[in-house]
Amino acid sequence: MPDAALGPASRLQRLEGRVVLGVKADADGITRLDRLYQSGSARLRLPKGPGVEGVLINTGGGLTGGDALETEVIVPAGARATVTTQAAEKVYRASAGEARVLNRLVVAGRLDWLPQETILFDGARLCRRLDVEMAPDATLLAAEATVFGRTARGERVTHGLFRDDWRIRRGGRLVYADAVRLEGDIEAQLARAAVAGGGCAVASCLYVAGDAEARVEAVRDLLRAEGVKAGASAWNGLLALRMVAPDGQTLLRALAPLIEFLRGAPVPRVWRC
């Protein structure tokens, strides 16, 4: 078929990448690398240090319509791992199609899923999904922050698509489902009181553990950070919270202490670079 007969998305090179990370606990209870697969523009690095802290890298430098990234992480019983990203993921204006990000987590030990923020430019289109399969006694800390436009440059997101779906299963049973969809004039939708009250930076965080409900009051105390609107609820071994801020810097400044409290350790090293 001649190029002239193809749609714009068909003629442009598209980014694809996949990472599979598996860890294991040795006889001394130390978590070590068990399996690593990477392809396309997706890479994972393991900085030296105690335990396993995987750093995801998109060598394509960002995402746009038609791009696809997939990550799978397996943490067996007795093992503990942290997975983050090298930098904020940027999603640029799409001429056609959507950028797609799929993250699958299989957790029988403990996993801290802590990517750095995603920044959507005007006209960006992103569909992101988080699927988690947990053992009944596993522990998960997952946080995702999203910033709509670079506020320091006065950018606005007046058209685009943002879809974010979370599905968490524990012992084969669905225990948490969440779906967010903003399409069209995203800035106008964020201005609504029931959406973000004019904020342009949002975060979702979920902590699934035996002590989740016991921590909710301490988390609510931490949520009283200046410039942030936030709330937290806990039930059936889950603690869920949301945060809204006027800009990404304010959001991350408030999110970091919450992560440190829930994981009992500092935020990943790349967050502090």
What is the gyration radius of the CA atoms in the chain, in angstroms? 19
Both tokens assigned to 52:
């396993």
Q: CB–CB of 80/265 below 8 Å?
A: no
Angstrom distances, CA of residue 96 to CA of 12, 124, 125, 185: 10, 10, 9, 17
Taking 3-state DSSP, the helix, strand and coil percentages for the chain, each rounded to the nearest 5, stand at 15, 50, 35
More confident residue, 42 or 150: 42
In a domain, 4, yes or no: no
Q: What is the pLDDT of residue 150?
A: 82
Number of separate domains in the chain = 1
Q: What is the pLDDT of residue 11?
A: 59
Both tokens assigned to 194:
């029931």
In a domain, 219, yes or no: yes
Domain that holds residue 58: 12-261
In a domain, 192, yes or no: yes
Convert the pLDDT of each residue in 46-103 to its tens digit.
998 778 999 999 999 899 999 999 999 999 999 999 999 999 999 999 988 999 999 9
In a domain, 186, yes or no: yes
What is the mean predicted confidence (pLDDT) over 228-253? 95
Round the average pLDDT of the chain to a whole number and report it. 92
In a domain, 29, yes or no: yes
Q: What is the pLDDT of residue 3?
A: 37
C-alpha–C-alpha distance, residues 144 and 127, integer Å: 14
Share of the chain above pLDDT 70, in %: 95
Convert the pLDDT of each residue in 122-162 to its tens digit.
999 999 999 999 999 999 999 999 999 987 777 889 999 99
In a domain, 143, yes or no: yes
In a domain, 266, yes or no: no
In a domain, 51, yes or no: yes
